[in-house]
Amino acid sequence: MGRTAKAKAANEADGGTWRFPAGQGLRLDSGARLEPLEIAYKTYGALNAEKSNAVLVCHALTGDQHLASTHPMTGKPGWWDRFVGPGRPLDPDRHFIICSNVVGGCMGSTGPASVNPATGEPYGLTFPVITIGDMVRAQAMLVEALGIETLFAVVGGSMGGMQALQWAADYPDKLFSAVIIAAAARHSAQNIAFHEVGRQAIMADPDWRGGAYETAGVRPEKGLAVARMAAHITYLSEAALQRKFGRELQRDGLSWGFDADFQVESYLRHQGTSFVDRFDANSYLYITRALDYFDLAAQYEGVLAKAFQAARKVRFCVLSFSSDWLYPTPESRDVVRALNAAGARASFVEIETDKGHDAFFLDEPQLDAALKGFFTSAAQARGLR
Amino acid sequence: MTARREDFREILRLVKPAARVLDVGCEDGELLELLTREKGVDGQGLELSSENVALCLSKGLAVVQGDGDRDLDHFPTRAFDYAILSKTLQQMREPRHVLSELLRIADQAIVSVPNFGHWRMRVSLMTRGRMPETRALPDPWWATPNIHLCTLKDFTDLCADLTLRIDACAALSGGRPARPMDPSGVLENWRAETALFLLSKA
């Protein structure tokens, strides 16, 4: 291994858990305060001398900080590995990329599985309800702790895109550009409804124990798996499901029973069972709640454009997918119109794909080309090499 | 620059350096790129086709996928120095509304329209008795995107009706360099294949 390769490997291993000192708790939108606060994060690449090349990537509902490095629990590549690397839209040779686990998460940041200092027991349901705004406030604290005044970009898909929108509203001066993929400025009734199904599945599992399963030494795996199965359907388009599985059977002939006869059943069951290995049921409750509470315009008298009033200098890129029915294109269009109305510099395109909401994890050449172009021109404007 | 883009050359001449420009129907972003490179403008595009927008984005241009008929309403008043609408006014559902919106959003509008009063149109209609298919308007009637064609006179009438001032006007014909003209000139409604206007509110 050459010296650069070694240095790069060391860089890629960068990150850890930021423990905020006593007195530096997190002020929450609910009025509560979360202390102590720990934020687990990973970084890729190096911060330049001007500290002008930092990119914060915000993860989605069940994502985590392992953006482009092997996941410690599943052994799989990072969730956006495809997107990060030399010559890719996010390039560790040019950008200092930060990805942190959201507050309320279960991959090292303070969440419902952390110990409640008041009781010495895991928080469980005594964990305060958090919001997208709280997640962003914690990220801003981390970014500041890392010595960065202005981010070159905040990038996120789905819930990550909502965080990017919240960043633009709350910290417009700390932001040079923002990329919002397959997101919305608020959760719709349908979004809330699907989340409620998931939460009820978890809470209906006898092993959930009112949220205190950790103390009881059990886990509501069945409930969490069902929640994941229901949610997973919303991430795919009908066309994608049909193309992938159709009515194909697992074995020759029907079982004349309730085994997973169809390949799509087996696939969903696998999605459910593999998910419970890496995710915490209470975190799922808290994070879905944060999403349901998200309504950016509501914080600005119902006028979304007002949320971006101070973000006129931020360069925005909004992307949606034609077959995404979870956060469909009209939601993105509303965001773009509000950005236009606020006089912000915005780009927007609906990418034609039949892969549904999850398209942002998948191979979409138009997405890559668009974002590469966006980052290149933003870098020029920012004076990055 | 190809002959086809003589209108771009004229637009490039009209736009002041470092201006804020909105290009409505910017297609693959060629004009925005030109204006950015040669005039250092702060450009924004609006384009209907997702493929074209993706192409623009990959070139680093700021372009929103949208519809000139519906999406202009969302831009704030006087957000731009120039709003450009090149040869697409006749494809809008509500050209009148679009024209007044352009001059709400921007201090000046640069609009080009094919002239249906051009002699080729008249001769073609008179001799063939069919909808003209000319080099300026090559599509058959059932495939044309042009739903609101007008003559030079029609267009200047609309400008007068909307109390718009014509700050400059040029004729573009057959890929030849733009020729400054007085749109009220008697022969221009016969001679100009396409007319390009610089408009402002009177």
Q: What is the pLDDT of residue B173?
A: 87
The widest CA-to-CA distance across chain B, in whole angstroms, is: 49
Residues of A at the B interface (Cβ-Cβ below 8 Å)? Answer: 315, 317, 322, 333, 336-338, 340-343, 345-352, 366, 369-374, 376-377, 380
Whether chain A has a CB inside 8 Å of the CB on B52: the answer is no
- The pLDDT tens digits for B129-155 are 999 988 888 899 999 999 999 999 999
Q: What is the pLDDT of residue A8?
A: 40
- Model pTM score: 0.92
Percent of chain A with pLDDT over 70: 97
Nearest-5° Cα angle at A198, A197 to A203: 95
CB contact set of B75 (below 8 Å; sequence gap of 6+): A340, A341, B22, B105
- The pLDDT tens digits for A44-95 are 999 999 999 999 999 999 999 999 999 999 999 999 999 999 989 999 999 9
Please pick, among A69, A158, A323, A332, the residue that the annotation labels catalytic.
A158
The Cα–Cα gap between A72 and A66 comes to 8
Q: What is the pLDDT of residue B176?
A: 87
Whether chain A has a CB inside 8 Å of the CB on B64: the answer is yes
The Cα–Cα gap between A178 and A313 comes to 11
Q: Would you say residue B193 has pLDDT above 60? A: yes
- The pLDDT tens digits for A215-235 are 999 999 999 999 999 999 999
Which class would CATH give A3-190+289-382?
A: alpha beta
Residues in chain B within 8 Å Cβ distance of A377: 59-61
Among the listed residues A30, A345, A247, the one whose alpha carbon sits nearest the alpha carbon of residue B62:
A345
Contact across the interface for A369 and B65, Cβ inside 8 Å: no
The Cα–Cα gap between A321 and B201 comes to 39
Contact across the interface for A342 and B75, Cβ inside 8 Å: no
Contact across the interface for A349 and B66, Cβ inside 8 Å: no
Q: How far apart are the first and last CA of chain B?
A: 34
| CATH number corresponding to B3-201 | 3.40.50.150
Q: Is A357 a catalytic residue?
A: yes
CATH 1.10.1740.110 domain span(s) along chain A: 191-288
Among the listed residues A190, A219, A192, A196, the one whose alpha carbon sits nearest the alpha carbon of residue A282:
A219
Q: What's the CATH fold of domain A191-288?
A: Rna Polymerase Sigma Factor; Chain: A (1.10.1740)
ipTM of the prediction: 0.87
Per-residue pLDDT band at A246 (split at 50, 70, 90): very high
Neighbours of A242 (CB within 10 A): 13
Q: Would you say residue B2 has pLDDT above 60? A: no
Q: Is A64 a catalytic residue?
A: no
Interchain CB contacts (distance < 8 Å): A and B: 74
Q: Considering chain A, what is the average pLDDT of its residues?
A: 94
CATH 3.40.50.1820 domain span(s) along chain A: 3-190+289-382
Q: Would you say residue B180 has pLDDT above 70? A: yes
State the virtual CA torsion across B194, B196, B201, B202 in degrees, nearest 10: -80
Show me where the domains of chain B are located: 3-201
